[in-house]
Structure 1
Amino acid sequence: MKWTGLNDLRESYLKFFESKGHLRMASAPLVPQGDNSVLLINAGMTPLKKYFQGIEEPPRHRVTTCQKCIRTPDIDNVGKTARHGTYFEMLGNFSFGDYFKHEATAWAWEYLTKVLEIPEDRLWVTIYEEDDEAGDIWANEVGVPRDRIIKLGKADNFWEHGSGPCGPCSEIHFDRGEKYGPFESFEQAGECDRIIEIWNLVFTQFDNDGKGNYTQLATKNIDTGMGLERLACVMQDVDNLFEVDTIQNIMKKICSVAGVNYHDDPTTDVSIRVITDHIRSTTFMVGDGIRPSNEGRGYVLRRLLRRAARHGRMLGVNRPFLYEICDTVINENLTAYPELDEKREYIKKVIKTEEESFAKTVDKGMQILGEFIKELSADDTRKPILSGENLFKLHDTYGFPIDLTREILQEKNIGIDEERFFELMNEQKAKARSNQAFKGGWDEATANALSGLTTTFVGYKSLTADSKILAMIKDGEVTDVCNEGDEVTVVLDITPFYAESGGQVGDCGTITAGENVMQVIDTKKTGAGQFICNCHVESGCFYTDDSVKSAVDEKKRMATARNHTCAHLLQAALRKVLGDHVHQAGSFVDPYRCRFDFSHFSAVTPEELEKIEMLVNDWILAGIPVVTEELPIEEARKKGAMALFGEKYGDIVRVVQAGDVSTEFCGGTHLDNTAKAGLFKIISETSVASGVRRIEAVTGYNVLSAYDQTKAMVTNIAQVLKIANPTAVMQKCENMMNEMHAMQAEIDRLNGIISMSQMKNVTEGATEVNGIKVFSAMLSGVTGDSLRKAGDKLKDANDSFIAVLAGVSDGKGNFLCIASPEAVAKGANAGKIVKEIAAIAGGKGGGKPDTAMAGIADVTKIDEALLALTDIVKNMIG
């Protein structure tokens, strides 16, 4: 056997099956496209399910792939063993009703024994115990000795998932040799990891009705899978995936950054393996457009990054460092995934930002968790279990993931009340759902009515069409007629109306038949891709099969096109001014505005916004032709066309190019020349999520509307301020602000005099606790700032005291607690005192041992709260 690198193995496998008439397809993104059954792609066949299920026609009936995959059920074991990982690549060859068992077995054996030159006597084959056909093929055609063909039961060698297509499996196993243990039997050798499975061939030949009844499928399929990393272990004669060449290079980089060596210490080795696996996963996840968040696949990413960051700290790396390892991950995978290089800076920036965010929360979270652990340790009368309330507090208040809490506490042999934690999480989600408007989809009747209908879209080239009504739905039911005043959903055979897609709203317009008129309110697509018009019947009536005239509202379409084309120009300007890390994170264009979300990690400065706006207007005034064409995807990539992260594209793509400025994959409607945009004006720049900014802008006539609104507002302000000349508004406002500041300063001065006059006799009647004077006072008409100033005066005039002052102004109140250094030395804590005092008046607060403040919810209970001061202090220092 010849040592072979992982990247060379991948290429040799794909080339081999290309030679057998297979179409090599690129790995699908880790984000499933049009499949909500899985969170992340977790197997080689997952992106191909639509071909196996007959939903779509495959590009060829023989396909081979190397698919990126993420699996997280065993995440807690990653690092603790050398076998578990979350990221892997799956080699596969697939037949959609083409070849079957004879070819699949012969080619698998040929690749392993002829191409890779694995000795035949080190390979074993397992089959389903009732699949004699496969056994005969392996023995009689492939030439595998009968005593090396093992029959196993349904649990091991039959693939099915509920009802539907299923079938027997045949697995090829490799014998790693005596160093892993003796070979007493196939089962025993498997238990000691001497025998490992390397390739699984699934023969999909039955349909299961869900009741245990199996019938032969008319069209049989082949689905195979072989883990690339596991195959590399075999070819490189190493024990586990962490010793494979490309992965080993990532580990070496981590060890270099952390100043440690692999195999020196078992505890250190765990952390090295965790970081190695998780940085592989997260680099590819970010590259496929996933961003850290608190739900869904974004949470998986955040969990992996934070777990890796924590293990970095365990190695002594207390700064962001994972983003540095990204370079090694990318470099080791460039031959198969060159797009990683294009996204290199973006990937590193996302990961670094998440590391920095975690660094801000982890220290506080660890401090709070440490306090919880101390409380548990102090109470040895019960089994140490962290409550669900405390788990939720760590998660909700401090952003500390429960997975990280669980892992830390497992190391300390402390349990957690996960059941209560998830109860609280569900309560929180229920509240969030109750506050969110319901967003429904199409009902079942609508979906059934539209099934099988198709619409030809002609709206790129024409704003009108001669159409026929294929179907109408009113009140959720199919109807053959609609009348004046009805709200109806209409499907046309030919439509000029663009359906809402890719961030662009659907078209409006009219559908007419003589004097009969329907207003098209908007146009959408169903999940199956049909164009549907939501309409209001303005006059007359319409029938199914009517011939009608369809016309798009040209004014709105053009306004939308201005905004969409300018969204492309805006992205180009952002990348030019801010850097190549900028990528689209979402967009929305309609006739009134252009909204563009993009990856960036700080607010865009006014100077940068001015440059961006000027660039877009320069390109508009340059009158650059905008060319739209359909191209093979590889040709489009060669032209430098930008694609959306995580988006799945077909073999033919639509490309929109504005000269040398912008080239993007896009299915929307656009201008044919930038000059038709007129003008471009940025209205706002805000944050919408961590590392994502949003710009809203207007174009064309909407710029004039924005100008008119601003002019009207300035005129109205001038009238309110009684200024004849609107141009003097700014000076008048500055004068007024200066006057207000002077007045506020005078108010503060007078409040100080009032509060001090009320303070003259506050120490009379003070009680003494353990040598410390304790007194309180109620000050009327005193704001929080004045209360603090009064407290400063008390500090200057008194020694060895604890005081609580209550200040009330305009119905709002605050408590201030001050403890002198002598009082603090005896155990007084102003933060705890004010917390207890405020609670009596329904308020909350806290602070330092010497000074603390709290709010007052119920001012009628101030006296009651102040009367409790002496008892609180006695309990604390008495």
Structure 2
Amino acid sequence: MTVDELRRAFLAYFEERGHRRIPSSSLIPHGDPTLLFTTAGMVQFKPYFMGLAEPPARRLTSIQRCFRTTDVESVGDATHLTAFEMLGNFSVGDYFKPEAIGWAWEFLTGVLKIDGSRLWATVFTTDDEAAALWAERGLPPDRILRYTAEQGNWWGPPGDTGPMGPCSEMHYDWGKTPGCRHCEADTCHPDIGCGRFLEIWNLVFMTYYREEDGSQTDLPAANIDTGAGLERLASVTQGARTLYETDELHRLVAVAERVSGRKYDADESPEIAFALRAMTEHSRALAFLATDGVLPSNEGRGYVLRRLLRRAIYFGYKIGIREPFLEQMVDAAIDLSHQINPQMLEQREFIKRLARVEEARFLQTLDRGLTLLDEVIAREAATKRIPGRDAFTLYDTHGLPLELTIEVAQSHGYEVDGSGFDAEMELQRERSRGDETFTSNNDDRALRYAALGIDTAFVGYDGLDAHSEVLHLERDGEPVARLNTGETGEVVVRESPMYPEGGGQVGDHGLVITPTGQFRVRDTQRYGETIVLTGEVEQGHIEVSA
């Protein structure tokens, strides 16, 4: 069964049982300040569970795009993903444990033909009803385990506050793991974590709400919230021990092989396989996030996207790629996912341009940044510790995210002085604080441009050139109406395709061409909301637009 066939089978099964199909919501949660990203299928249904809105139906089903940041550094191994799809069926005060458990078992063993003797269930320590229901399905007592909240059998809330409840997880048993003493002694179970068991479905009995003070109150009704990871379930139906061997992700790994000239062989070349998987996963995650309007930046969601993008480029660089590759991989990721996410097709060209522009900018500084990091590693051989000041310089000047510096350092057995990095970051904030709206040095130039109140729109993701208007000119720190041939100065336009310096990226170079002259841009900076182009007039003259 292919991944797409699995999607269709899941939705059809629950639609036949009275569930209304609901489209995936955005990865940017609507009206939920407690979440950075949509992390589970139930996020868009929280108002229904809380009694704040009337659901379109009491039974719902969906395939939700999800994104989680908790294990970014692990992406590249056989099991971790940041972006994934979650199959879910939901009840808003309608059915409860008997139906949820019965249907989950029937779908897995009846529709997907998964061998029931390989399934284990965990229930919350005090949940006798769920344990009895699994026993009715034919599970023997030694495969019905009672787990605590710390062991994962209490779900939620998805943020600091929200719906939550005890849960029951279903695990698939791949068979004994060589070298695991628990497997050898026949005492192994899912919480051991030896790789023998794979969690494939979580059934949450959503009955409580966590308040801001940490207290727990009852929800208006008892609800059901289930989530089955599409890629995980596909690995079981396809007999693939790693997520990247399932049909859709495997096709994207093949693209990574093509652009790198490297072969995917986890046994013979584990480091190359790790890099190819990281490139694969992050390319798909980029397509998911950009489709929903997340753009690279130095804070919040945009920082997460930029971190993934640069991590993918780093791993490509690590296995010898020196030419841009990300656009090709993003294009292939869209081909694989647009059937369930049709808006990806509408955004295809924009997402490809975004990948191309961001990769080109990072490649300008990556080689020098990694060379400097190697020098620091050699210099600190005695301490095996990267000083915070060096880590900050790599971030601020060369665009290496702290997390990437840590990852490279750890591969050499080094640690990074995180507190020292934080101190350097705070010193930079102090230097630039003067006015809280300034993100560049607090000098007279920043004050002047802030006073202008010009918000320059960055349009570089739409193309490398743009038609715009000249709004302001300066020479030697003074406003002028005109700059003549040979004169240096600063130009402010309404829309700029040139990216300002920041986050380790140098400011773009380029040309401003008007009917009267040509201005060579040597540097691009941002002062508040104003993008300023610095350079000199090469031909004719430049004047403020009428």
- CA displacement 1:85-125 (0-9 Å, x = unmatched): 21211111111112111211111112112111222222222
Question: Which amino acid letter does the alignment assign opposite residue 352 of structure 1?
Answer: R
Residues 211 and 255 (structure 1), Cα distance of their counterparts in 2 relative to 1, 3 Å cut: closer
Amino acid across the alignment from 1:242: Y
Alignment match of 2:127 (pick from 102, 120, 131):
131
Q: 1:12 matched to which residue of 2? A: 9
> Judging changes above 3 Å, is the alpha-carbon distance between structure 1 residues 317 and 57 closer, same or farther for their aligned structure 2 residues?
same
Q: Quick one: distance in 2 between partners of 1:191 and 1:212?
A: 30
Instruction: Say if 2:164 and 2:207, in contact at 8 Å, map to a contact too.
Output: yes
What is the number of residues matched between the two proteins? 455
Q: Deviations over 1:779-829 (max 9, x none)?
A: xxxxxxxxxxxxxxxxxxxxxxxxxxxxxxxxxxxxxxxxxxxxxxxxxxx
Cα separation, 1, equivalents of 2:192 and 2:106 = 24
Aligned residue in 2 for 1:149: 144
* Whole-Å separation in 1 of the counterparts to 2:29 and 2:213: 30
Distance of 1:367 and 1:143 partners within structure 2? 60
Deviation, 1:160, is 4.7
Following the alignment from structure 1 to structure 2, what is the Cα–Cα distance between the partners of residues 131 and 346? 50
Note closer, same or farther for the CA distance 1:213–1:322 as it changes in structure 2 (3 Å cut).
Answer: closer
**Matched residue, 1:32:** 29
Secondary structure of the equivalent of 1:154? coil
Classify the secondary structure of the residue corresponding to 1:15: helix
Quick check: 2:28–2:36 contact (8 Å CA) kept in 1? yes
**Contact conserved, 2:468 with 2:493, CA < 8 A, in 1?**
no
1:604 aligns with 466
Counterparts of 1:105 and 1:215, CA distance in 2: 25
> Which of 305, 319, 339 is 2:323 aligned to?
319
Q: For 1:299-342, what per-residue CA distance to the aligned partner results, in whole angstroms no more than 9, with x for missing partners?
A: 11111111111111122110111111122211111221122122
Gaps of 5+ in 2: 439-453, 470-491, 501-539, 542-546
Q: Aligned partner of 1:7: which letter?
A: D
Distance 2:32 2:466 in 1: 36
Asked if the contact 2:174–2:196 (Cα under 8 Å) also holds between the matched residues in 1, the reply is yes
Aligned with residue 236 of structure 2, among 234, 237, 242 = 234
Structure 1: how far apart are the matches of 2:40 and 2:347? Answer: 24
Alpha carbons of structure 1 residues 302 and 21: separation in structure 2 relative to 1, 3 Å:
same
Distance 1:213 1:350 in 2: 44
Amino acid at match of 1:195: F
- Pair 355,688 (structure 1): closer, same or farther in 2 beyond 3 Å: closer
1:76 and 2:73 are equivalent in the alignment: yes
Contact 1:32 1:38 in 2 (8 A): yes
Deviations 1:504-534 (A, max 9, x none): xxxxxxxxxxxxxxxxxxxxxxxxxxxxxxx
Counterpart residue type for residue 144 of structure 2: I
**Counterpart of 2:224 in 1: which secondary structure?**
strand
Q: Provide the residue aligned with 2:224 in structure 1.
A: 222
Q: Which amino acid is 1:265 matched to?
A: S
- Give the distance between the partners of 2:364 and 2:385, measured in 1 at CA: 27
Structure 2 residue 45 is matched with structure 1 residue 23: no
CA distance in structure 2 between the aligned counterparts of 1:121 and 1:428, rounded to whole angstroms: 59
1:239-269 Cα distance to aligned partner (Å, 9 max, x none): 1101111101111111112111111412211
SS at match of 1:174: strand
Q: Is the 8 A contact 2:50 2:219 kept in 1?
A: no
SS at match of 2:206: strand
Give the C-alpha shift of residue 187 in structure 1: 1.9
Q: What is the CA distance between 1:129 and its match in structure 2? A: 2.2
Alignment CA distance shift 1:163-1:299 (3 Å) = closer
d(CA) in 1 for partners of 2:310, 2:35 = 23
Separation in structure 2 between the aligned mates of residue 207 and residue 370 of structure 1, nearest angstrom:
50
Q: Residue type matched to 1:118 in 2?
A: I
Q: Please tell me the residue identity of whatever aligns with 1:26.
A: P
- Offset from partner CA, 1:19-56 (integer Å, 9 cap, x none): 11112111111122222212121222223222222232
CA distance, structure 2, for counterparts of residue 68 and residue 396 of structure 1: 33
Find the residue that maps to 1:324 and give its secondary structure: helix
Mapped contact 2:41–2:227 kept (Cα < 8 A): yes
Distance in 2 between the 1:596 and 1:329 partners? 29
2:364 to 335, 360, 365: 360
Question: What is residue 112 of structure 2 aligned with on the other side?
Answer: 116
Structure 1 stretch displaced more, 145-154 or 43-52: 145-154
> Structure 1 residues 105, 401: closer, same or farther in 2, change over 3 A?
same
1:719-868 equivalences under 5 Å are none
**Per-residue deviation, 1:389:** 1.7
SS in 2 for 1:45: helix
Q: What is the identity, as a one-letter code, of the residue corresponding to 1:117?
A: K
Letter in 2 for 1:260: R
Counterpart residue type for residue 125 of structure 1: A
Displacement after TM superposition at 1:61 (Å): 2.0
Aligned equivalents of 2:415, 2:364: Cα separation in 1: 26
Contact 1:71 1:87 in 2 (8 A): yes
For the structure 1 residues 214 and 605, does the alpha-carbon distance in structure 2 shift closer, same or farther, using more than 3 Å as the test?
closer
- Equivalent residue, structure 2, for 1:297: 301
Answer yes or no: is 1:85 the counterpart of 2:81.
yes
TM-superposed deviation, 1:145: 4.1
For 1:326 and 1:214, locate their aligned partners in 2 and report how far apart those are by CA, in whole Å: 43
Amino-acid identity (%) = 40
Query: Which residue matches 2:425?
Result: 425
Alignment of 1:27-106 (within 5 A): 27-79=24-76, 81-106=77-102
Residues 210 and 71 (structure 1 numbering): CA distance in 2 closer, same or farther, change over 3 Å?
Answer: closer
Give, as a single letter, the amino acid of the residue that structure 2 aligns with 1:396: D
Greater relative contact order (Cα < 8 A, sep 6+)? 2
Deviation (angstroms), 1:224: 0.8
Q: Tell me, what secondary structure is at the counterpart of 1:170?
A: strand
In 2, the alpha carbon distance for the partners of 1:405 and 1:267 equals 18
Distance 2:463 2:161 in 1: 48
Structure 2 Cα separation of the partners of residues 135 and 411 of structure 1 = 44
Matching residue of 2:255: 253
Structure 1 or 2, whichever has the larger Rg, is 1
What SS class does the counterpart of residue 310 from structure 1 fall into? helix
Closer/same/farther in 2, CA of residues 595 and 102 from structure 1, 3 Å limit: same
Aligned pair in 2 of structure 1 residues 117, 687: CA closer, same or farther (>3 Å)?
A: same
Partner of 2:343: 339
Residues 165 and 345 of structure 1: CA distance in aligned 2, closer, same or farther (over 3 Å): closer
Is 1:265 the counterpart of 2:269 in the alignment? yes
Q: Secondary structure at the match of 1:306?
A: helix
Q: Could you say if the C-alpha distance between residues 597 and 20 of structure 1 is closer, same or farther in structure 2, counting changes exceeding 3 Å? A: farther
- Residues 560-639 of structure 1 correspond to what in structure 2 (within 5 A)? 598=459, 599-605=461-467
Contact between 1:369 and 1:394, CA under 8 Å: does it hold in 2? yes
Equivalent-residue separation in structure 1 for 2:291 and 2:210 (angstroms)? 39
- Measured after TM superposition, the shift of residue 366 of structure 1 is 2.6
Measured in 2, the distance between the counterparts of 1:118 and 1:239 equals: 15
Distance in 2 (CA, whole Å) between partners of 1:310 and 1:163 is 37
Name the CA distance, whole Å, in 2 between partners of 1:322 and 1:177. Answer: 37
- Residue 425 (structure 1) shift: 1.6
1:365 deviates by 1.9
On the 8 A contact 1:604/1:685 being kept in 2, the answer is no
Question: 2-side partners of 1:374 and 1:126: how far apart?
Answer: 49
Distance in 1, matches of 2:398 and 2:378, equals 18
For residue 194 of structure 2, what is the aligned residue in structure 1? 192
- For the residue of structure 1 that corresponds to 2:41, the secondary structure is coil
Equivalent residues of 2:93, 2:223 under 8 A apart: yes
Instruction: Give the Å deviation of 1:401.
Output: 1.9
Q: Deviations over 1:825-873 (max 9, x none)?
A: xxxxxxxxxxxxxxxxxxxxxxxxxxxxxxxxxxxxxxxxxxxxxxxxx
Residue in structure 2 matched with residue 490 of structure 1 by the alignment: none
**Aligned-partner Cα distance in 2 for 1:164–1:321:** 41
Cα separation, 1, equivalents of 2:95 and 2:259: 50
Report the alpha carbon displacement of residue 422 of structure 1 after superposing the two structures with TM.
1.0
